[in-house]
Amino acid sequence: MPTLEVVVFRPGALEESRSHRFAEGLFSPLPSRYDLLADLLSFGQNSRWRKEMVSHLLEGAPRLVLDVATGPAGVARHIARRSSATVIGLDVTAAMLRQASAALERTGLSERVKLVRATAEQLPFPDGSFDALSFTYLLRYVPDPSAVLAELVRVVRPGGTVASLEFAVPPARAWRAAWWFYTRAVLPAAGRLTGGREWYEVGRFLGPSISEHYRRYPIDWTVSALEAAGLVEVGWRQMSLGGGIVMWGRRPASGG
């Protein structure tokens, strides 16, 4: 494995695209309750989806894992608790990383999980640095998902695993109609009641952004993009009536 230099998170300048600034402006006001928002949108299923994703991620017993779009490090902490791996949590949003740092201190995991502020488009690591990589709720916030997927796969060693979790649109018509009503009407109202205007704005944004993403990038497109980025044995599972989707694949071993 190549030598890996880890820069522990510290506030500072970071060159950001318009999409990065949008994501940071959207989520910076609410990192302390970000996981609660994910649970609200998933009807409490977010933890179950994470468990499924991490199960695929840990099949190869990785020693070093990169968790991209780590937010307050919920997934990174889950990986650390379920394995002996060292985890690098990476995010573009400074407020999220401050919250992640506090959570790691509280849970005694700051030695096992390190934090880096960087973008998914330009990961500050050499090729093949990690045994496994996870990313969660990322692809809707980048302007070129195929380029990001190629960059994520680049830093995974041959034989390593990539696993992801995203919100999804239920395929069955009846459940899709219920999901549409929930995301357009119930979620923004619940956001306002529980967290004020900031949560209302996020709640109002999420449903339409999920629908638009899958209109442009359906599941088959994402599978093909992962394969084009260099993964094999790509699989996926749509969970909770289709409200969440877990995907996984591996880089072929050298010579395989």
Q: Are 196 and 32 in contact (CB under 8 A)?
A: no
0.75 exceeded by pTM: yes
Q: Are 18 and 87 in contact (CB under 8 A)?
A: no
pLDDT, residue 254, reads 76
For residue 170, pLDDT beyond 60 = yes
Q: Which residues contact 213 (CB under 8 A, 6 or more apart)?
A: 139, 140
Q: pLDDT class for 112, splitting at 50, 70, 90?
A: very high
Q: Give the mean pLDDT of 137-163.
A: 96
Q: pLDDT class for 140, splitting at 50, 70, 90?
A: very high
pLDDT, residue 194, reads 67
pLDDT, residue 6, reads 57
Q: pLDDT class for 40, splitting at 50, 70, 90?
A: low
Q: 18-169+216-250 sits in which CATH class?
A: alpha beta
Q: Which residues contact 24 (CB under 8 A, 6 or more apart)?
A: 16, 92, 93, 94, 95
Structure tokens at 66: 């990169």
Q: Which residues of 189-227 are buried (b: 16+ CB within 10 A; e: fewer)?
A: ebbbeebeebbbbbbbbbbeebbebbeeeebeebbebbe
User: What percentage of the chain exceeds 90 in pLDDT?
Assistant: 66
User: What percentage of the chain exceeds 70 in pLDDT?
Assistant: 82
For residue 118, pLDDT beyond 70 = yes
For residue 188, pLDDT beyond 90 = no
Torsion region of 234: left, alpha or beta (phi above 0 gives left; psi -120 to 50 gives alpha): beta
- pLDDT, averaged across the chain: 87
pLDDT, residue 10, reads 47
Query: What is the distance between the alpha carbons of residues 244 and 68, in angstroms, rounded to a whole number?
Result: 18
Q: Give the mean pLDDT of 8-18.
A: 51
Question: Apex CA 30: angle with CA 58 and CA 123, to 5°?
Answer: 45
Query: What is the distance between the alpha carbons of residues 31 and 56, in angstroms, rounded to a whole number?
Result: 27
**Tens of pLDDT along 74-104?**
999 999 999 999 999 999 988 889 999 999 9
For residue 207, pLDDT beyond 60 = yes
**In the chain, domain spans:** 18-169+216-250
Query: What is the distance between the alpha carbons of residues 236 and 117, in angstroms, rounded to a whole number?
Result: 29
